[in-house]
């Protein structure tokens, strides 16, 4: 892996401890890293390529990440756009791999569609760059995040990822426990551990409330295995077409 270049990004922002964890794990695996992460929180932005501000220009600022000897940029943009810029040669050159995370909170089930962490990885995939999203299963009100445990998982998985065909993308979820049961391949759960509910709070106003899913996730799914104490690895693809040629088309124009 010596000489390979890695973009390290996230959706929790440039000051997140998870970003340092991921960058440090990549360095320990022999990768040359550049950090480019949102200047502010950007969770839930999916693969948005929006920049912060209305000029259409993407503003970045050189930063120092304490404990890391690498180029670092705080970028006024969502992680999907940061990944896109990097894959097109920004931030010092096209990376060999995009690594996104370590996210504070799991990204499981089909709800990963909304994740900025996963969005950055899938943007790498769209641009023919191998990518991985990494998440730690701990909430904002949960116990102390075991960042080192996430770093261990990254160091175990990263060599395998880089042996895969170009543009492979993985999503790695790590339980926030000391005694992890092991690593398992997992399919996406139908939803995820958290779902959204819309509540009316007044005229022309609603509130989006996040609640824990009532149904138990399917056995063997990422959500189920994570709850059982396993780290999970899911292979993802980005947007693709579905077979539909068997459907009769309407006669148009008439």
Report residue 156 CA to chain centroid gap: 18
Predicted pLDDT of residue 196: 47
Predicted pLDDT of residue 192: 61
Instruction: Please state the rounded mean pLDDT for residues 1-17.
Output: 92
Tokens of 224: 């189920």
pLDDT tens digits for range 149-198: 999 999 999 999 999 999 999 999 999 999 999 999 999 999 765 444 45
Predicted pLDDT of residue 200: 57
DSSP 54-82: SSSPPPEEE---TT--SEEEEESB-HHHH
Predicted pLDDT of residue 186: 97
More confident residue, 206 or 125: 125
Confidence of residue 203 (pLDDT cuts 50, 70, 90): low
* Percent of the chain clearing pLDDT 90 (strictly above): 76
* Domains of the chain with CATH codes: 5-190+218-236 (3.40.1210.10)
Closest CA to 238 of 104, 83, 96, 92: 83
Predicted pLDDT of residue 159: 97
Tokens of 61: 């600022």
Tokens of 144: 């102390």
Predicted pLDDT of residue 50: 81
CA distance to 96, 160, 231, per residue, from 113 (Å): 24, 24, 20
Mark 153-173 as b/e (b = at least 16 C-beta within 10 Å): bbeebbeebbeeeeebbbbbb
Instruction: Choose the weakest-confidence range: 54-63, 76-85, 211-220.
Output: 211-220
Predicted pLDDT of residue 91: 95
Predicted pLDDT of residue 51: 78
CB neighbourhood size of 41 (10 A)? 14
CA distance 37 to 78: 8
CA distance 89 to 98: 13
| Statement: residue 254 has pLDDT above 90 | no
Predicted pLDDT of residue 217: 87
């Amino acid at each position: 892996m010596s000489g390979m270049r890695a973009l390290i990004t996230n959706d929790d922002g440039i000051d997140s401890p998870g970003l340092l964890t991921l960058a440090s794990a990549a360095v320990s695996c022999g990768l040359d890293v550049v950090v480019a992460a949102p200047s502010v929180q950007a969770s839930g932005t999916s693969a948005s390529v929006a920049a912060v501000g209305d000029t259409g220009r993407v503003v970045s600022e050189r930063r120092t990440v304490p404990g890391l000897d690498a180029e670092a940029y705080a970028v006024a943009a969502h992680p999907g756009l940061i990944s896109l810029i990097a894959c097109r040669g920004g931030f010092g050159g096209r990376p060999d791999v995009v690594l996104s995370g370590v996210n504070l909170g799991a990204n499981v089930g089909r709800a990963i569609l909304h994740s900025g962490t996963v969005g950055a990885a899938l943007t790498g995939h769209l641009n023919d760059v191998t990518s991985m999203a990494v998440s730690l299963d701990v909430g904002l009100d949960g116990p102390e995040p075991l960042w080192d445990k996430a770093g261990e998982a990254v160091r175990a998985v990263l060599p395998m990822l880089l042996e895969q065909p170009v543009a492979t993308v993985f999503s790695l979820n790590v339980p926030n426990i000391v005694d992890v049961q092991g690593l398992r391949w997992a399919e996406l759960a139908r939803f995820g551990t958290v779902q959204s509910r819309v509540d009316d709070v007044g005229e022309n106003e609603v509130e989006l409330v996040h609640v824990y899913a009532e149904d138990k996730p399917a056995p063997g799914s990422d959500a189920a295995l994570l709850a059982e104490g396993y780290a999970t690895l899911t292979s993802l693809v980005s947007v693709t077409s579905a077979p539909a040629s068997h459907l009769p088309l309407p006669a148009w124009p008439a």
